[in-house]
Structure formats: C-alpha cells, structure tokens
Chain A
C-alpha cells in the first residue's frame, strides 16, 4: 500500500553542519510530495513541496528534489541553525489523502 519511509531519528548536528534527511515513498500514479516541520509546541507547517518529477522545492535554505526514478524526496540544508531544531515529516498526496512518514527529530546544538 501507499507509504512513506523516512530516516529514523533523532538526528543531532552541530550548528552550520550539512543536513540530509532521507525520504522514499511508495505510491501509485504521480503523487505530490511535501516536507512539513513541527516546532516544539506547535502544529505542522508546510516547509516545501514539489508537484512533478524533477521539481525542486525550497524554503528557508532547505531543498528537496522530486526524484521519480528513485521514488525519493530527500531534504537537505547546507548549514543548519539551532532554530532548525524540530520534527520533520515527509508526506505525499496522490490517489489518497496526505500520507505521512513517522517524522525525524532534528536537534541542532551550538
């Protein structure tokens, strides 16, 4: 069935380190792909999205490219900050409502 697999956390990085959070999906058709972020005590916020193959979503220094051939949508940031500490969720919609991964907790230390 439809599902999202993202890397297990928690991930702990030093400030200014490079971040990659892997995400792969299993879906029929051509889904739209999303990254949502949940800061402590807050709801989920859309971080970025891509709606077709080879599209790159970007926001706040984060990027992810829709790779149809590898069914992946890995999240990257070149230099993380303490304020990026949060839980990151990969998700998609297609023939189904939004399907989420389990989330990856990121902690950035100064």
Chain B
C-alpha cells in the first residue's frame, strides 16, 4: 500500500543534543510537510518542500531545519533541542500545494527531550 512512513515512532534525546527525524513516502507526491503537534494542540506547520523548493513558515525557529535529498525522503533536524521541543512531529505529503489538495499523514514521531 502507498503510504507515509515515519521512523522512529518514539525518539528520546538529551537537551542540546542534535536529533534527526525521518519521513519517507511511496506516493510519489511533490509536496512534503513537517508539523509539530504539542499535547492537546492543533498541528502547527513548520515548513514544506514543493519538489526541491523549501518553504519555511515565518515563525519556525532557526533551531529547526529540513532536508529533502530526493522525492521519497524528507528529514527534520533539530540542532539543539530544548525541553519545549518535546512534541509529536507529523510528516505529510500531497500531490500539489493547491487549496483543496488532500494531505496524507504519517503516524508521527513522538520526541522526548531529557
């Protein structure tokens, strides 16, 4: 089945220690998104790639970076995680970025910062 895969499902890191979360897709979609979801809050878009074009949300901290080496993979790098970065990180894809386009989500990676 075509899908969006996120690994690992749970990630523990130490305060200030860089961490990378990964996302892959078999849908061959052009657009990949990263969201941060804190407990009992709405998912918040951090950035997205349209093909190789990177689009950062204005309020995404510099601590968060992303890489998309090819169509299938996208990575979220947190350079120096703080306690406030503990959250669920959701990856999503869509075939286009037009209004009305459905986004397909992975299961998420829950990040714990010690």
Binding site for B on A (CB under 8 A): 4, 31-32, 34, 36, 41-46, 49, 51, 89, 93-95, 97-103
Contact = CB atoms under 8 A, between A and B. Distances in A.
B90 A101 contact: no
A86 B101 CA distance: 23
B100 A42 contact: no
For the residues of B in contact with A, the DSSP-based class is loop
Given A32-B100, A51-B100, A93-B101, A43 B106 contact: yes
A42 B107 CA distance: 5
Interface in B50-100: 57, 90, 92, 97, 99-100
Interface residues of B, number: 23
B19 interface: no
Nearest to B101: A93
Contacts of B105: 36, 43-45
B102 A102 contact: no
Contact of A94 (B6, B43, B99): B99
Interface of B: 4, 6, 33, 40-43, 45, 48, 57, 90, 92, 97, 99-108
A93 B92 CA distance: 14
B40 to A, nearest CB: 7
Contact of A102 (B4, B41, B101): B41
B43 A100 contact: yes
Given A97-B48, A102-B40, A102-B42, A49 B107 contact: no
A28 B103 CA distance: 21
Contact of B99 (A31, A100, A101): A31
A41 B107 contact: yes
A83 B99 CA distance: 30
B39 to A, nearest CB: 11
A102 B42 CA distance: 4
B107 A97 contact: no
